[in-house]
Amino acid sequence: MIYVTHRLPVNETGEPTLDRTAVWQGLVMKADNALPFVPAMSHCLVTARLDDVTFEREIELFGDRYSERVSLQPQQRVIFTRISGPVLGTIVNDIEEDEGELFLRFSFALVLEGLPSGSPEEAAYAEEMTTQYIAAVGATLAAIRRVAGGEASVTLPIS
């Protein structure tokens, strides 16, 4: 199993200041359509809405197709559970606060189909995914800042 977690501060000097609500709205937008937020993703389509805070989507990442169940914990966390595809597991986006400062943490726990845990192939995949997920944290915050700064408008399909 591969486990990685990475946290970035939400607010940076010279950028629009984001509050928890703005970050949450951005995470909801990303959950519904990740393409503007995750550069490595080439397809994202919601396939079923199970209730107000749970839905399923199909994604394509690095040429591989996955089905995910997305669970929203309003103002706190988005959980992406891979239910089919070559790499299964859970990806979590958390809004954290430490001494009044907001952070966005991405964590993932993934199992690669057909690769033994601890193998060199798994380690190489983990290294590449770590790089990609760290980039996704930055890209997510940049996209949320564009929306907050009025550079992009997005209609929120989920509250």
- What is the per-residue pLDDT for 128? 83
Tell me what percent of the residues of the chain surpass a pLDDT of 90. Answer: 51
Give the position of tokens 């501060």.
9
**CA neighbor of 89 nearest in space, from 104, 73, 69:** 69
Q: What is the pLDDT of residues 126-154, one digit of tens each?
A: 888 888 878 877 888 888 888 777 765 54
At 137, list the tokens: 């944290």
What does pLDDT average to over the chain?
88
157 in a domain, yes or no?
no
Domain with residue 71: its CATH number is 3.30.530.20
- What is the per-residue pLDDT for 153? 52
Helix (H/G/I), strand (E/B), else coil: 119: coil
Residue 6: how many other CB atoms lie within 10 Å? 15
d(CA 9, CA 59): 27
At 7, list the tokens: 């946290």
At 130, list the tokens: 């770590």
93 in a domain, yes or no?
yes
**Confidence category of residue 118, pLDDT binned at 50, 70, 90:** confident
Q: What is the mean pLDDT of residues 27-46?
A: 91
Phi, psi dihedral angles at 105 (to 5 degrees): -115, 130
Q: What is the pLDDT of residues 66-75, one digit of tens each?
A: 999 999 999 9
Number of H helices, E strands in the chain: 2, 7
155 in a domain, yes or no?
no
- What is the per-residue pLDDT for 156? 38
152 in a domain, yes or no?
no
154 in a domain, yes or no?
no
Is the confidence at residue 159, as pLDDT, over 80? no
Instruction: Give the chain's domain count.
Output: 1
103 in a domain, yes or no?
yes
Domain containing 67 equals 2-147
CA torsion sign for 12, 16, 20, 26 is negative
Q: What is the mean pLDDT of residues 82-103?
A: 95
Q: What is the mean pLDDT of residues 61-82?
A: 96
Is the confidence at residue 99, as pLDDT, over 60? yes
70 in a domain, yes or no?
yes
91 in a domain, yes or no?
yes
* pTM of the full structure: 0.87
